[in-house]
Chain A
Amino acid sequence: MNNIVEIRWHGRGGQGAKTAALLLADAAFNTGKYVQGFPEYGPERMGAPITAYNRISTERSTVHSNIYEPDYVVVVDETLLSAVDVTAGLKKEGAIVINSGKSPDELRGKLRGYEGRVCTIDAGRISTEELGKNFPNTPMLAAIVKVSGVVEPEEFVRDMEASFKHKFASKPQVIEGNMRALKRSMEEVQIG
């Protein structure tokens, strides 16, 4: 039986939604899954809404189309909620994860009647506090892992630590900051 999880990312050009989708694919790959991670390119400019996708499965998925009925949606920029129909096709058994300081109840009204789980995480604040800059990718990645369980959380934390150690070998403070952001995000994500 092929268990497949499909995820759609909404962000703005330059915010790293594509990179986050590729990082999630990496994390799932490292736990033995089949992965796809791909962007949907528009007339790319900084700030323009962009979409990226993940298929994560136990058997290879041969489909090469975009995702129209995702299990999960991740919104990297809260201001997209009014600009883009982010819950289009989203399964109600799934969930939407939004980068926001607001609570799920405060945001549900903006989601065009979406009945599934609404999750929020203040990735901007966590990133600013732990990394000194607004890099929402790492906390968003951790939040979607926590909410979706697409990767086993403990395995994910171990894997990310190894990955950061490899990537930032000469900057131990960056590794520690990212790991704190990651763990805080998994604890602080509000599921409503």
Chain B
Amino acid sequence: MSHLAKDMTPDVTWRDITPGCAIYEGGTSEAVQTGDWRTMRPVIDWAKCKQCLLCVPVCPDISIPVSGEGKREDFNYFYCKGCGICADVCPFGAISMVPEEK
């Protein structure tokens, strides 16, 4: 069988699990959806955002994408855990945390 991360599910048998639980590909965290951990959701007010980009480096995940022109874009909610650090550091109050509605 293939020994890629996607195959290592809780159904994998002891014969098929990779030796030492090694994973034979890189960047596998890209496939892990952490957005569903979120209870609070960051929302950006584009009218207040000055594109200072202070929010970008403090994001512990990869939830604030930056365009080729160097502008931050809307949140990537597939990864965003709703930690709120970006809202905390924003000098302009452009990011507010609102309860997640599921």
Direct contact of A and B (CB under 8 A): no
